[in-house]
Chain A
Amino acid sequence: MSTARAAAILLAKELRLEFRTRELLNATIVFALVVVVLFSFSFDPTSAESRRLGPGLLWIAFLFSGSLMLHPSFGREQVNQTLDALRMAPISPFALVLGKMLANFLFLSAAEVVLVPVFAILYNVGLTGVAGRLTLVIVLGTFGLCVTGTVFSAIAAHARLRELLLPLLLLPILTPLLIAAVEATASLLAPEPGLDRGWLALLAGFDIVFLTASWLLSDFLLEE
């Protein structure tokens, strides 16, 4: 079976599993909302201040909710040793990792679709006119987050203290992604919106480097 087809089947499985309960998605959205609301107490949310601090706030909310949401990705497979069953399937290990990456990407994107308008309303930030470019930045950033996060979820699943370990491994590695995404978002929310190609290139570079590394290393990741 081709890797793409196997990944698609596994993606469908992840989506079916999640939409039976929607518990992960609901918890992630509520958590991200809590972060966004709590941040409003750390500064005076006038329009100018929000434009300055909002992008960082938004991406910190994405990163925190992502790093919590990604743990069940592999953690969930351990309860009934279902990962062993998946490992025995005649598919490449990368298909398994890729299916989970795409599922996590869709879950986090769904949470962001709810979160961004709420953020715009609560902090008086206008998004009309930049929606398309903002979507591009968010998609690139979220994808990079899910690529590294899924791999680290597989690593942390075998360790003790795994819920705590995943953010610890993930957040420092996401520094370049955070800087690029925050700066790109900030330039889009500025009074005169613009988008620096350098930041987009960096986000795309991050995605490509770590997707390639995951592809090369996925054999070892799922080794028994």
Chain B
Amino acid sequence: MKARVPVTVLAAGLMLVAGYAALFIAPDERTMHEIQRIFYFHLGCWTAMFIALGIAFVANIGWLLTSRPRWDWLGVSAVEVGVTSCTAGLITGVLWGKPAWGIWWTWDPRLTTCFILWLLYISYLLLRGLIEDPARRATLSAVFGIFAFLDAPLVYVSNRLWPRGQHPAPVIFGGPNSGINSTMLRTLMISMTAMVVLMLIVLLDRYRLERLRHELDELRVATERGNARSTLAPVARS
């Protein structure tokens, strides 16, 4: 955990640079002007969410294969961080949608998919809260987590087939006439990296918290066992 301070400082620095670049350095967008600047963080939220949920999926499989508690800690931490990133992504999206499209919300494939993902992983967290036994909680929530992750592409495809999109066609890697100004691209890369690093720092802290909770539980059980023993055999302990 020695690396935590420098990494946090690095993330804070990245955030500052990204914020400054997004607000002051990146050029004005042709049709959306200032509104478009939220996009640098909006996209960062989604990148962070997909990485976090990917980590959660790997952790769920890891727990089922090995039964090592650390996979379970990683799984719940990643889902919590993923849900947070998703919430931030949805909010920045809504804030952007109103001035850019004239409406707060539209049932576009990408929006719907992320909203359904948000609901699914909220259910995952609810499910964990409702199961007492730690091992069973880990196993059943891992099974649900895998189902939820498998559902994501299906939700996306089903909404894609539904002809009522609102999002623009891809700009980056989108074909011959698409493309992005190089300063914009650099700003985007910096802010995406900043958001991902922030997500990873929070994830590691959340993981540490989960580990400490686990240790505390074990200590508590051990103490209770010790107390029980001392009441059974009240030997003088001076």
A interface vs B, CB < 8 Å? Answer: 148, 151-152, 155, 158-162, 165, 168-169, 172-173, 175-176, 179-180, 183, 198-199, 202, 205-206, 209-210, 213, 217, 220-221, 223
Contacts and interface: CB of A to CB of B under 8 A. Distances in A.
A175 B140 contact: no
Contact of A199 (B123, B144, B155, B161): B161
A158 B136 contact: yes
B101 interface: no
Interface of B: 64, 112, 116, 119-120, 123, 126-127, 130-133, 136, 139-140, 142-144, 146-148, 150-151, 154-155, 157-159, 161-162
B119 to A, nearest CB: 4
Given A160-B130, A168-B126, A220-B139, A210 B162 contact: no
Nearest to A161: B130
B150 A179 contact: no
B158 A202 contact: yes
Contact of A176 (B133, B142, B154): B154
A160 B129 CA distance: 9
Contacts of B120: 172-173
A169 B154 contact: no
A159 B147 contact: no
A164 to B, nearest CB: 9
B143 A220 contact: yes
A205 B126 contact: no
Contact of A202 (B112, B133, B157): B157
B154 A209 contact: yes
Contacts of A162: 130
A148 B123 CA distance: 15
Contact of B127 (A159, A175, A183): A159
Contacts of A223: 136, 139
User: Chain B CB within 10 Å — which of A152, A162, A210, A217 has the most?
Assistant: A217
Given A176-B154, A213-B147, A155 B140 contact: yes
Contacts of B162: 179, 183
Contacts of B132: 160
A151 B130 contact: no
A117 B56 CA distance: 45
B153 to A, nearest CB: 9
Given A158-B140, A217-B64, A173 B161 contact: no
A173 B130 contact: no
Given A172-B116, A175-B112, A179-B159, 5 more contacts: A160-B131, A165-B126, A173-B120, A176-B157, A179-B162
Nearest to A172: B119
B130 A155 contact: no
A168 B123 contact: yes
B123 A169 contact: yes
B208 to A, nearest CB: 27
Contacts of A175: 112, 116, 151, 155, 158
A54 to B, nearest CB: 18
B161 A169 contact: no
